[in-house]
Amino acid sequence: MSEPPLLEFANLCVSYGGRRIVDEVSFTLARGETAALVGASGSGKSQTALAALRLLPPQVRTSGRVAFEGEDLLSLPERRLNAIRGRRVAMIFQEPMSALDPLFTVGSQIAAVLRLQAGFSRGQALTRAAELLDLVGIDAPKERLSAFPHQLSGGQRQRVSIAMAIACEPDALIADEPTTALDVTVAARILDLLGELRARLGLAMIFISHDLQLVRRLASRVYVMDAGRIVEAGATEAVFCNPQHSATQGLIVAAPSPRARRPDPAPEILRAENLSVAYRRRGGWFAGRSEVKVLDAVTLSLKRGRTLGVVGESGAGKSTLGRAILRLVPASGAICFEGRDIGGLDETGMRPLRRAMQMVFQDPYGALSPRMRIGDIVSEGLLIHEPALSRRARDGRAAQALEEVSIDPARRDRRPREFSGGQRQRIAIARAMILRPRLVVLDEPTSALDRATQMDILRLLRDLQEAHGLAYVLISHDLKTIEAMADDIAVMKNGCIVEQGPAAQILGSPRDPYTRSLMQAAFDTHGGRQDFSSRRC
């Protein structure tokens, strides 16, 4: 305790329109230390970091003290603060696309920091910017200087942000959910980079995340936030192995145990062969048209009452596959549903089949028409498929369907906005179930929900599957969700299935290198699943 802390937060409060979003937050960061601020979305962790560098909108009120080497950043004049921002304390943000100016080249953006904050000349700045890009692992750094942000991938953009952040060799780096917007494998590499830079430059780091698992790799201390307060603090391993507060426990709830294998044979309900979807891209009158294949000759099969897990990163074509199976996007190839080829049916021919095959979507906010009563939303399928039904009978069925997903049927006159995310997802499930389908495509049904709610929804889906003998196509980027639900797994990359087979085989001994990197990123292991299961504590 002899050396004074690099950064000291003391009773920091942030209020917005009378509502406190950060409440009496105090902690310290020593030189070279990495601390993590962890909490669910809306817990105030990002606001804490932004408040430290006075980056919140002007109408937000802050009080308390954030001292950098003893100087209170909250009361420093703007000019003196600017000498600390970027030079001594740097920051990287969650969304690398919007954090960079879309109208300027990445080179000029890095060079601006070097020129204005480190006193480089224009020429020196560009040379140094190229070196920095090289340092953060961007290939052909000299050529990349003249690239615009939109020409880079998400991971590359985040690397550019990191290059900007370390340009002035700061003492501390605040990383605000730096990997949340990225795919798991990319995120893993960005984390490796941050760890490496920390060691090389002796950076102190505040790492902000909603993912406790992620934090475990980097941080030595953890501060768990909930509703604006720090509710639990301590050494990372201690907090992880012995969580005290319910909010901390909520962040590390266990996934439901993997489903037991069911070897008994069941009839095939769905078979897709050589399923392809291509979008035509218009390139103006003379640029010609090019085709982009988002789904490339996918073949799969699903048995009645079973779950096929489709896993892959964003852009892999998973959602397109789900929609193609239900004939919601035009696709080539054969789709057999219960032995019947539905690939060539038109919309009218499809209509009677639609009640047997339903879909549940990712975003529970976008999936319910905001102006309709939830009773009408749930019973819309009846309106289409059982037009003879009286209004009363429909209403009764809607109440039943809501009850089955544990939504109080008395609330069926309410509009979607009055329900929470998890409840809305239940309503969306009720809408699909009211028609008693035999096949349901679940498109990332839990990824917009917080961890605890995710588990509830997965349990509900499992119960419904058992009760009604449903077949699921479960699409997810999250291997843990897949592990909890799937009998078979298909791994997708760039529109193709790179590996598929029984769940135990894929998770236990993945053959494809891509599957292995996915596993590694998801379970933070280098081997198979066993390792993950034993690593609880």
Partner 1 sequence: MPQRALARILAAAATLFVVIALSFFLMRLAPGGPFDSERPLDPKIAENLRRIYRLDLPLWRQFLFYLQSLAQGDFGPSLHWRDFSVNELFAHALPISMRLGAEALSVALLVGGALGAIGASTGAGLRQKLGAFAVDAAALIGVILPAFVIAPLMQLLFGLTWRILPVGGWEDGAWRNQILPVATLALPQIAIVARLMQTSLRDVLAEPHIRTLRAFGLPPRHIYAHALRAAILPTLSYLGLAAANLLTGSVIVETIFGIPGMGRYFVDGAIGRDYTLVMGTVVVVAALVIAFNLLVDLAYAWLDPRIAESASR
Partner 2 sequence: MSRFILLSPARAALWRRIPASAMLLVLIALACIFGPLFTSHPFDRVYPDYVLAPPSLEPSPNASEARDAVEELAARLGAKIVSMDSTGDSVAAKFSSDRTIDAAALAALPRSDRIGPPRINSSGDGGQNVGLNIPLLRTVFPFGADANGRDLLTRTLIAGRVSLAVGLLASLVALVIGVLYGAIAGYAGGAVDALMMRIVEIIYALPFIFFVIVLVMVFGRHFVLIFIAIGAVEWLDMARIARGQTLALKEKDYVAAARALGASPAAIIRRHILPNASGPIIAYLTLLLPRVILLESFISFLGLGVQEPLASWGVLIADGARNIQGALHLLFFPALFLGATLGALQSFGQYLQAIFADAHVGLESEPR
210 contacts partner 2 (rule: CB under 8 A): no
Tell me, rounded to whole angstroms, the distance of Cα 497 from its chain centroid: 21
Q: Which two tokens stand for residue 267?
A: 């009839």
Among 150, 289, 392, 536, binds partner 1 (CB under 8 A): 150
385 contacts partner 2 (rule: CB under 8 A): yes
Site residues for partner 2, window 336-365 (CB under 8 A)?
Answer: 347, 350-352, 354-355, 357-359, 361-363, 365
Minimum CB separation of residue 104 from partner 1 in Å reads 7
Alpha helices in 100-210 (DSSP H): 106-118, 122-135, 141-144, 154-166, 184-201
What backbone phi and psi angles, to 5 degrees, belong to 35?
Answer: -115, 150
Q: Could you tell me which stretch among 105-113, 126-134, 228-236, 367-375 binds partner 2 (CB under 8 A)?
A: 367-375
Q: How many binding residues for partner 1 (CB under 8 A)?
A: 37
- Cα radius of gyration rounded to whole Å, the chain: 26
291 contacts partner 1 (rule: CB under 8 A): no
Q: For the range 79-87, what are the long-range contacts, defined as Cβ-Cβ under 8 Å and sequence gap of 24 or more? A: 81/53, 81/54, 85/53, 86/113, 86/117, 86/167, 86/168, 86/170, 87/117, 87/118, 87/168, 87/170
Among 13, 74, 76, 112, binds partner 1 (CB under 8 A): 112
Q: 100 and 161 in contact (C-beta within 8 Å)?
A: yes
Among 41, 98, 244, 533, binds partner 1 (CB under 8 A): 98
- CA angle 209–444–441, rounded 5-degree value: 170
What is the spatial distance between Cα 109 and Cα 264, in angstroms, rounded to a whole number? 61
Tell me, rounded to whole angstroms, the distance of Cα 375 from its chain centroid: 30
State the binding partner of 421 from partner 1, partner 2, none, CB within 5 to 8 A by kind: partner 2
State the binding partner of 428 from partner 1, partner 2, none, CB within 5 to 8 A by kind: partner 2
Pairing of strands 61-68, 7-16: antiparallel
Contact code string over 281-300 relative to partner 2, x by CB under 8 A? -x------------------
Residues with Cβ within 8 Å of 427's Cβ and at least 6 positions away in sequence, in order, are: 364, 368, 374, 377, 378, 402, 405, 407, 416, 419
What is the spatial distance between Cα 289 and Cα 236, in angstroms, rounded to a whole number? 54
Contact code string over 38-67 relative to partner 2, x by CB under 8 A? ----x-------------------------
Minimum CB separation of residue 391 from partner 1 in Å reads 46
What is the spatial distance between Cα 286 and Cα 279, in angstroms, rounded to a whole number? 18
Q: How many binding residues for partner 2 (CB under 8 A)?
A: 39
Q: How many residues can be counted in the chain?
A: 537
Site residues for partner 2, window 398-417 (CB under 8 A)?
Answer: 416-417
428 contacts partner 2 (rule: CB under 8 A): yes
When the beta carbons of 178 and 381 are compared against partner 2, the nearer one is: 381
229 contacts partner 2 (rule: CB under 8 A): no
Q: 404 and 418 in contact (C-beta within 8 Å)?
A: no
Contact code string over 19-58 relative to partner 1, x by CB under 8 A? ----------------------------------x-x-xx
Name residue 224's beta-bridge partners. Answer: 38, 232
Minimum CB separation of residue 116 from partner 1 in Å reads 5
Q: 498 and 492 in contact (C-beta within 8 Å)?
A: yes
Minimum CB separation of residue 104 from partner 2 in Å reads 28
328 contacts partner 2 (rule: CB under 8 A): yes
Among 1, 103, 388, 537, binds partner 1 (CB under 8 A): 103
State the binding partner of 91 from partner 2, partner 1, none, CB within 5 to 8 A by kind: partner 1
Among 11, 41, 82, 533, binds partner 1 (CB under 8 A): 82
Minimum CB separation of residue 69 from partner 1 in Å reads 16
When the beta carbons of 65 and 87 are compared against partner 1, the nearer one is: 87
Q: 304 and 438 in contact (C-beta within 8 Å)?
A: yes
Site residues for partner 1, window 430-469 (CB under 8 A)?
Answer: none
What is the spatial distance between Cα 377 and Cα 365, in angstroms, rounded to a whole number? 13
CB atoms inside a 10 Å sphere around CB 313: 19
Among 100, 135, 212, 506, binds partner 1 (CB under 8 A): 100
Name residue 441's beta-bridge partners. Answer: 359, 473
Buried b (16+ CB within 10 A) or exposed e, 427-459: bbbbbbbbbebbbbbbbbbbebbbbebbbebbe
Residues with Cβ within 8 Å of 255's Cβ and at least 6 positions away in sequence, in order, are: 455, 458, 480, 481, 483, 484
State the binding partner of 328 from partner 2, partner 1, none, CB within 5 to 8 A by kind: partner 2
State the binding partner of 142 from partner 1, partner 2, none, CB within 5 to 8 A by kind: none
Among 369, 406, 509, 533, binds partner 2 (CB under 8 A): 369
Whole-angstrom distance between the N-terminal and C-terminal Cα of the chain? Answer: 30
Q: Could you tell me which stretch among 127-135, 254-262, 323-331, 388-396 binds partner 2 (CB under 8 A)?
A: 323-331
90 contacts partner 1 (rule: CB under 8 A): yes
When the beta carbons of 435 and 482 are compared against partner 2, the nearer one is: 435
Among 11, 104, 244, 466, binds partner 1 (CB under 8 A): 104
What is the identity of the amino acid at 8?
E
Binding site for partner 1 (CB under 8 A): 53, 55, 57-58, 81-87, 90-91, 93, 95, 98-104, 112-113, 116-117, 148, 150-151, 161, 164, 281, 283-287
Judged by the rule CB under 8 A, the positions of this chain that interact with partner 2 are: 42, 282, 323, 326, 328, 347, 350-352, 354-355, 357-359, 361-363, 365-372, 377, 380-381, 384-385, 416-421, 428, 431, 435
